[in-house]
Structure 1
């Protein structure tokens, strides 16, 4: 994960200027610029202050918000069929799958 790019992305999504974020995080704007451009890695303390200044938690910052990779067609076909099974047949299928372990 490119921390600088992630910070810049969240900052621009929130329509916050680099200057404003630097002030909120109590860091120099030049430091934030170097972090966003990938020239400098933030310390944990600085990252925590930046994320807090963005109004999110570290957990939210590191959460994977990307779309999941699509399933292969064969897996999708099986999933679609399983979704249509009545409960009794779903239990049988589950028992069969458990026996393969």
Structure 2
């Protein structure tokens, strides 16, 4: 799922909200998460996961075209670790996951 699809789904589930408002809220949330990571902070969404920044050490890379060694400097990279609730949902037996998907689809069809 991409951001625009997520915005459309949220707007469809909440007919009292305009799509442009959902997009503005989504951009505000993602922007705030980005700002916090740039500042070196950790962002934790209980039940979902935590975003952090990790440091990668400098290393020797390779130019894939020539095979020549190329120095790659140290850098900061974003990292995500799932929360316990999300991990449990991902590892739930397939039957219960399928039942949850079917229930969600049924609710969405009822609203239409």
Category of TM-score, reference length = shorter chain: under 0.3
Structure with higher Rg: it is 1
Q: Which structure is higher in strand share?
A: 2
Highest relative contact order (Cα 8 Å, sep 6+), 1 or 2? 1
- TM-score with structure 2 length normalisation? 0.24
